[in-house]
């Protein structure tokens, strides 16, 4: 007759409850902290610009955020104008000519472009087949290498970006089109899936499958 398992101690139960609470509160706290940090910096930056045009005693908290929203919306509207797009393209060309700024700006622009609402097939979500019947989720970032150095990619290859889970970074690989399988998933959902290692969010009160409640 197998020995009976002793019931979990009080401290073990308390530890499980604390961990459950921590895993519930931590993402919420981190999200609130990042949101407050971002809004505070926007308020400070744009608030200083407001103080250039109005007296200090007229300023009220929140004016900087209002100006930030108006500026972002105005840029979005102006980007539909051909003249403004040409001016923005010239400014972007200047940024890309500065060595250090070029690396940072180009990387951020291309990364944020993964979440933009574009329809280009060269930004589709794909599953890259690997030896051993394995697959990796990634993004096709380039299919045309006519402006790239000769020999960088073969005629049947495309560039695929493979982000890493739980950190900012990843690998760019050149893979044949035959090794790619299109995935019917938005870029935002795919990036979220990769960054969280495919974890499915669930209520803290629901136990994972196979876990039975113990007294």
pLDDT at 118: 52
pLDDT at 206: 39
Confidence class of residue 8 from pLDDT cuts 50, 70 and 90?
A: low
More confident of the two residues 99 and 113:
99
pTM comes to 0.49
Three-class SS state of 121? helix
For residue 41, is pLDDT > 50?
yes
For residue 159, is pLDDT > 50?
yes
The whole-number average pLDDT for the span 87-115 is 75
209 alpha carbon, distance to own chain's centre: 29
Q: Based on the number of CB atoms within 10 Å of its own CB, is 39 exposed (0-12), middle (13-18) or buried (19 or more)?
A: middle
Average pLDDT of the residues of the chain: 78
Confidence class of residue 207 from pLDDT cuts 50, 70 and 90?
A: very low
> Residue 15 to residues 26, 187, 204, 210: CA-CA distances in angstroms?
16, 38, 14, 21
Q: Are 180 and 158 in contact (CB under 8 A)?
A: yes
Q: Where are the domains of the chain?
A: 121-195
pLDDT at 215: 41
């Amino acid at each position: 007759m197998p020995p009976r398992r002793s019931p979990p101690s009080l401290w073990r139960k308390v530890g499980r409850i604390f961990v459950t609470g921590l895993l519930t509160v931590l993402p919420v706290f981190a999200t609130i902290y990042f949101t407050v940090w971002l809004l505070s910096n926007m308020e400070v930056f744009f608030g200083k610009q407001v103080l250039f045009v109005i007296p200090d005693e007229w300023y009220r908290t929140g004016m900087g955020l209002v100006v930030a929203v108006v500026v972002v919306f105005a840029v979005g509207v102006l980007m539909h104008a051909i003249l403004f797009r040409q001016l923005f393209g010239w400014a972007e060309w200047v940024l890309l000519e500065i060595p250090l700024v070029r690396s940072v700006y180009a990387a951020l622009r291309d990364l944020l472009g993964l979440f933009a609402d574009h329809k280009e097939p060269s930004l589709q979500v794909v599953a890259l087949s690997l030896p051993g019947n394995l697959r990796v989720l990634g993004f096709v970032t380039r299919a045309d290498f006519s402006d790239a150095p000769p020999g960088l990619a073969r005629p049947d290859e495309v560039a695929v970006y493979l982000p890493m889970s739980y950190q900012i970074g990843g690998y760019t690989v050149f893979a044949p089109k035959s090794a790619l399988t299109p995935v019917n998933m938005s870029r935002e959902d795919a990036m979220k899936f990769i960054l969280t290692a495919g974890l499915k969010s669930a209520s803290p009160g629901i136990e994972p499958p196979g876990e039975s409640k113990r007294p």
